[in-house]
């Protein structure tokens, strides 16, 4: 059976919907950065506030109305720290009133208060995603720069668990926490939650490369993508492609499966590829701009071209998670293979070579 035929056999109604939406560039998700304000000081944060005036709550409501009219199913509220917005709960309630599902990205600091969690539960979010940066206060707070933030984050996860709210954990890998990933995984297990590790630290949105100084070391990445990956990811093999390429026609979902709106109302192809398509406050509806904007169409074409170039490498291609936005910010060329993706590719390739030498195959493990 061919790979394409096999994938069709395993299709579900949901995957068919997602693949169709991807192919037709019908975005089902929207991420809204409602504020750049934050109660943490993470030095690797990619946010780059420009000093412009952030949207008012009324303007955010107007944006949400246009997003709902565009047919979006899921809205993710993020920041900054979304809960630092003084009207967070009003904004979240408006997402639900408009009939869209709600996700919340947070550092969890304010959710250590059970009263806050009770209010979140009333919103019936699909999930809350919390960032966990270490297994100890020393490591976690070495990255957040806020004393007491580790205990509050752990307490937030416990509170959310107790309230019956779905929680996902994520951990950006840096040189400050790379030594305790197994302990972080063990902590997540004790909390009863799956944790996603992200091996890519990105430049700031304005092109500042300072966050890259916190990138995990190359020797570590070789081990992470190699002998450690399966244990840290519940038996999965390292992915060879992009996690959001969907139907395989493009490198990723930028300008297709979703979009981002920043605190100033700017419509962006995704959270990483921050080319301004339009300002939502200045347009009547999103659909016309999404379909006809030269910026949006160029971004979609670039994603197709990136996929073509990666596929042309054939069996040499192990470019896990290639990101056009990171490429453009780091090199000035959205199609350039930047240093991080090259290091990761070498490590993933070595992992698959070792698996073959040992007599196994990628199919012996679950695919990431």
What does the pLDDT look like over 255-282, one tens digit per residue? 999 999 999 999 999 999 999 999 999 9
Three-class SS state of 98: coil
Burial of 9 (0-12, 13-18, 19+ CB in 10 A): exposed
Average pLDDT of 316-329?
85
pLDDT at position 313 is 84
At residue 346, does pLDDT exceed 90? Answer: no
Average pLDDT of 331-352?
87
At residue 6, does pLDDT exceed 70? Answer: no
Mean pLDDT of the chain: 90
Q: For the segment 70-100, what is each residue's pLDDT rounded down to a tens digit? A: 999 999 999 999 999 999 999 999 999 999 9
- Who's near 13: CB < 8 A, 6+ residues apart? none
The answer, as to whether pTM is greater than 0.85, is: yes
Question: Please, are residues 238 and 351 in contact by the beta-carbon 8 Å criterion?
Answer: yes
Average pLDDT of 299-310?
94
Question: Please, are residues 341 and 220 in contact by the beta-carbon 8 Å criterion?
Answer: no
Q: For the segment 106-154, what is each residue's pLDDT rounded down to a tens digit? A: 999 999 999 999 999 999 999 999 999 999 999 999 999 999 999 999 9
Neighbours of 367 (CB within 10 A): 11
Domains, in order of start, for the chain: 27-367 (3.20.20.70)
pLDDT at position 7 is 45
Nearest to 293 by CA among 308, 307, 279, 273: 279
């Amino acid at each position: 059976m061919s790979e394409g035929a096999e994938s069709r056999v395993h299709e579900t109604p949901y995957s068919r919907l997602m693949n169709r939406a991807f192919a037709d560039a019908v975005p089902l998700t929207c991420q809204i950065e409602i504020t750049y304000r934050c109660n943490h000081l993470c030095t690797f944060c990619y946010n780059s506030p420009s000093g412009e005036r952030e949207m008012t709550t009324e303007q955010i409501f107007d944006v949400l109305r246009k997003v709902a009219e565009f047919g979006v199913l899921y809205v993710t509220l993020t920041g900054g720290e979304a809960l630092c917005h003084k009207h967070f709960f009003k904004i979240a309630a408006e997402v639900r009133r408009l009939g869209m599902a709600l996700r919340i990205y947070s550092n969890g600091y304010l959710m250590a208060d059970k009263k806050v969690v009770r209010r979140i539960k009333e919103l019936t979010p699909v999930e809350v995603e919390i960032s966990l940066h270490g297994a100890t206060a020393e490591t976690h707070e070495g990255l957040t720069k806020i004393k007491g933030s580790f205990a509050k984050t752990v307490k937030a996860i416990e509170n959310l668990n107790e309230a019956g709210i779905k929680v996902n954990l994520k951990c950006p890998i840096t040189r400050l926490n790379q030594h305790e990933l197994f302990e972080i995984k063990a902590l997540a297990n004790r909390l009863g939650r799956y944790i996603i590790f992200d091996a890519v630290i990105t430049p700031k949105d304005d092109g500042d490369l300072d966050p890259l100084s916190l990138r995990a070391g190359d020797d570590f990445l070789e081990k992470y993508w190699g002998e450690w990956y399966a244990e840290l990811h519940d038996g999965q093999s390292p992915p060879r492609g992009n996690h959001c390429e969907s139907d395989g026609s493009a490198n990723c979902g930028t300008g297709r499966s979703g979009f981002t709106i920043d605190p100033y109302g700017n419509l962006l192809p995704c959270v990483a590829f921050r080319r301004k398509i339009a300002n939502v406050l200045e347009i009547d509806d999103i659909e016309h701009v999404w379909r006809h904007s030269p910026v949006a169409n160029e971004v979609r074409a670039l994603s197709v071209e990136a996929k073509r170039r990666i596929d042309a490498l054939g069996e040499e291609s192990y470019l896990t998670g290639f990101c056009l936005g990171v490429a453009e910010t780091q090199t000035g060329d959205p199609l350039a293979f930047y240093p991080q993706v090259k290091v990761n590719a070498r490590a993933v390739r070595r992992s698959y070579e070792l698996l073959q030498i040992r007599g196994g195959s990628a199919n012996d493990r679950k695919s990431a």
